[in-house]
Amino acid sequence: MATAAKTRKTSKKAAAVTPGAESKLRIKVRAYEHKILDLSVKQIMDTANRFEAKTVGPVPLPTEIKRWTVNRSTFVHKDAREQFEMRIHKRVIDILSPSPKVIEALTNLNLPSGVTIDVKMV
């Protein structure tokens, strides 16, 4: 019993020390057009590499597809339908232990419209 309690205490201490050792900046980029998305990801990667930051990615995430089916006419013609879909392409970039210069450079980037960016410190 005593040895099991000791091992639990040491594992909690080890778990508490390791997460704070290295900070990570996680950037999620989303867009409807994949070409614009790839250009903006390239711009982010070039900015990070200019300041010699360690990067992981870009990692492509699954494309989110939203589909709708709509009647073509209003009343009688139930068989005539149109189908629409919207694709949202996603990428993730991780910057390991970013410096303040890297963060400042990334906040000053001018990216094309239609590109959404979420930045988190993990």
Q: Is the pLDDT of residue 16 over 50?
A: no
H/E stretch holding 28: strand 24-31
Q: Is the pLDDT of residue 9 over 80?
A: no
Residue 2 lies in a domain: no
Residue 36 lies in a domain: yes
Q: Is the pLDDT of residue 7 over 80?
A: no
User: What is the per-residue pLDDT across 54-90, written as a single tens digit (0 to 9) for each?
Assistant: 999 899 999 999 999 999 998 888 899 999 999 999 9
Residue 70 to residues 9, 32, 65, 66, 79, Cα–Cα distance (Å): 60, 21, 16, 13, 11
CATH code (residue 103): 3.30.70.600
Residue 42 lies in a domain: yes
Structural domain for 41, as ranges? 22-63+90-121
Residue 112 lies in a domain: yes
Q: Tell me, what's the pLDDT at 2?
A: 52
- Both tokens of residue 36? 């614009």
Q: What domain count does the chain have?
A: 1
